Amino acid sequence: MTQIHAGADVAKKLADWCLDLRAEEIPDDVLAKAEDCIIDAIASAVPGQDVDGARRIHAVANTTYSQGDAAIWFTDKRLHPTGAAFANAASASILDIDDGHRMALGHPGAAVVPAALAAASDTMVSGDDLLVAVIAGYEACIRIGRAEKRKAYHTGNWSGFGACVARARLAGLNAEQLTHALAITAYHGPRVADLTLSADMGSNVKESIPWSVVAGMTAVDLALEGFTGSRDALDIEERFDPAAALEGLGQGFLITRTYFKRYSACRWIHSPIEALLALMEEHNIAPGDVEEVRVDTFHQAASLNNYADPHSLESAQYSIPYCLGLAAALGESALMPVSAANLHNAEVVALASKVKVVHVKEMDSAFPANVPAHVFIRTDRGTFDTHILLPWGEPDRAPARGELVAKFHALAEGRLQALQLDEIVAATEGLRRGTVAPLLSALQASAPIAAVTQKGDAQLTLSGEAR
C-alpha cells in the first residue's frame, strides 16, 4: 500500500488512496471490524425504522426517488440507490444508537453502510468489494471530519464524504471522477453549526446524516455525468486543515478506532448511565432511595439540553437527567432503545429532576479522547460515587462479535424474526467468501411481527451477555 504524506490536493490524494485499496492489502482484523460496523448499522436501523422522524424520511424517499434495485431494509420497497440510502440512513441514525468515531466527533456508520449496501444492489459485487468500500468510506469521512477547523458536533458536515467514496468505489469511478465527487460533496453537503448551539436539539433533523448521504451519493452521479467540482475544496484552510486530513494515510485504518453504543443516547451520556447503574447494583439502591444524583462531567456533555422532561424522542437522547432517570426507574433495557412511550413518565421525570449536571473544568482535557463522568448518588444511607472514563464499546474496551450480536437481538426483539437476524449476521460474516447477494436477500421484508410498544425481556448486561 502506498504511503501518502500530508500536503495539498487532499481530494486527489484521498481519491487515489481509496480507489487503490485492495482487499488483499487489508489485515483480517480490519475486515472483521468492517463486518462489525455493517452488523451494527443494520441493528441500529431495526427499531429506527418505526420512529416518526425516520418514517417521514421514508415517505419522502418513496415519493421523490424512482423505482430501482436498492431496498429499503426490512420492506418490499425498492428505490434508486440514493433514495434507499437516504431512508436507511435515517433508520440507522434516528435513535442515536449507531457507531461513532472520536477523531471526527460523530457517526460514520449510519452514512457509509447504507450508502455501500445501496450501491452494491445495482451490480453484482463481491463481498470483498463491499467491505473495501466500507473501509474506504470510513477512512475518507473520518479524515475529513478530523480536518474540519470548526469543530462542530454535527456529523452531517463530513459523513457525506464517506457515502460518496463507498458508492464511487462500487460504481467504478476513476480517480479524476472521485476527486470531483469529493469536491462536489464539499460544496453541496451540509455545513451546519454545532448541534449543541441549538435550543431545539429535539428536532427530526438531528445531525443531518441522511441528507449528507443524499449529497454524497448524488455527487457520484454528477461526477459520472462530467459535472465538475472545485478540486481544491478540501485544501481551503478557512474550513479544513489539509495536513490533518492526510496525516498517517496509508499507515493504518481509522475504522479500527470506531466505537459502538449500547444505549440510545448521545455518547457523552453513556459514562453517566453506566456509573449510575453500577452504583445502584453494587449498593442495592432502589429508585425510591435516590435523594440526589450529581454528574460531574466535561463541558460538551454539560452543554447538552439536559431537560428532565424532554418534549421529543430526539430531545431525550441529548439529556443526561432524563436518561439517568429512565435507567434508574425502568432499567437498562429502557435505553435499548429509548421509546417515545416513556416520554413524560411521572416516575422517570421525578428521578430526572433529582439529577444535577456539573461542569468540571479539570475534566475538559480528557475530551475528545475520552468521555468521562463522575457520578454521586446521595441516599439516606450515605453518598456513593464512581468514575467512568471509557464506556462500553470504546476501541480500548471493544466488544466481541457476540456482544454486538446480543445488542442486535435486544434491538430486534418483537421486530424481526430471529431467523432473519441470524441470516443477516451469517451473510455479513460470509462476505469474504462470496458476494453481497445473501446479505441483500436477508435484508428484504420478512414475515410480519405484530408491532410492540414495549420489548420483551431481551436485555444486555454490562458485560454484554444476553439475558
Residue 218 lies in a domain: yes
pLDDT reported for residue 383: 98
Q: Residue 28 belongs to a domain with what CATH number? A: 1.10.4100.10
> Does 84 share its domain with 225?
yes
pLDDT reported for residue 438: 95
> Does 56 share its domain with 190?
yes
Q: What percent of the chain has pLDDT over 90?
A: 88
37-86: per-residue pLDDT in tens? 999 999 999 999 999 999 999 999 999 999 999 999 999 999 999 999 99
Choose the final residue of a domain: 200, 234, 259: 259
Asked if residues 297 and 314 have their Cβ atoms less than 8 Å apart, the reply is no
DSSP state of 196: G
Choose the final residue of a domain: 388, 406, 430: 388
pLDDT reported for residue 462: 41
CA pair distance 356, 227, nearest whole angstrom? 53
Q: For cell 498517517, name the residue.
A: 248
CA pair distance 205, 257, nearest whole angstrom? 26
Question: Where residue 21 falls among pLDDT bands split at 50, 70, 90?
Answer: very high
> Does 78 share its domain with 54?
yes
Residue 447 has pLDDT above 90, yes or no: no
- In the chain, the number of structural domains is 2
Residue 339 lies in a domain: yes
In 345-372, which positions are buried (b, 16+ CB within 10 angstroms) versus exposed (e)? beebbbbbebbebeeeeebeeebeebbb
> Does 283 share its domain with 228?
no
Residue 457 lies in a domain: no
Residue 460 has pLDDT above 80, yes or no: no
Structural domain containing residue 146: 10-259
pLDDT reported for residue 150: 75
> Does 223 share its domain with 317?
no
Query: Mean pLDDT across the stretch 105-125?
Result: 92
Q: Residue 355 belongs to a domain with what CATH number? A: 3.30.1330.120
Question: Where residue 6 falls among pLDDT bands split at 50, 70, 90?
Answer: very low
Question: Where residue 451 falls among pLDDT bands split at 50, 70, 90?
Answer: very low
Asked if residues 443 and 42 have their Cβ atoms less than 8 Å apart, the reply is yes
In degrees rounded to 5, what are phi and psi of residue 254?
-70, -20
> Does 56 share its domain with 37?
yes
Average predicted confidence (pLDDT) for the chain: 92
- Say which range, 7-16, 349-358, 370-379, 394-403, has the weakest mean pLDDT: 7-16
Pairing of strands 292-297, 355-359: parallel
Residues in the chain: 467
> Does 174 share its domain with 316?
no
Residue 394 lies in a domain: no
Question: Where residue 325 falls among pLDDT bands split at 50, 70, 90?
Answer: very high
Residue 422 lies in a domain: no
pLDDT reported for residue 464: 41
> Does 243 share its domain with 285?
no
Residue 3 lies in a domain: no
23-41: per-residue pLDDT in tens? 999 999 999 999 999 999 9
DSSP code per residue over 215-284: HHHHHHHHHHTT----TTGGG-TTTB-HHHHHTTTTS--GGGGEE--SSSS-GGGHHHHHHHHHHHHHTT
Q: What is the pTM of this model?
A: 0.93
Residue 408 lies in a domain: no
What value does the CA radius of gyration of the chain take, rounded to a whole number of Å? Answer: 21
> Does 252 share its domain with 363?
no
Choose the final residue of a domain: 370, 388, 406: 388
The contacts found for 450-455 with CB under 8 angstroms, 24 or more apart, are: 450/414, 451/50, 451/414, 452/414, 452/415, 453/339, 453/341, 454/339, 454/341, 455/333, 455/336, 455/410, 455/413, 455/414
- Say which range, 45-54, 150-159, 253-262, 287-296, has the weakest mean pLDDT: 150-159
> Does 52 share its domain with 135?
yes
pLDDT reported for residue 198: 75
Residue 429 lies in a domain: no
Asked if residues 115 and 136 have their Cβ atoms less than 8 Å apart, the reply is no
Three-state SS sequence of 393-404: CCHHHCCCHHHH
pLDDT reported for residue 153: 80
> Does 228 share its domain with 302?
no
120-171: per-residue pLDDT in tens? 986 678 999 999 999 999 999 999 999 998 767 889 999 999 999 999 999 9
Residue 389 has pLDDT above 90, yes or no: yes
Query: Mean pLDDT across the stretch 386-412?
Result: 96
> Does 17 share its domain with 55?
yes
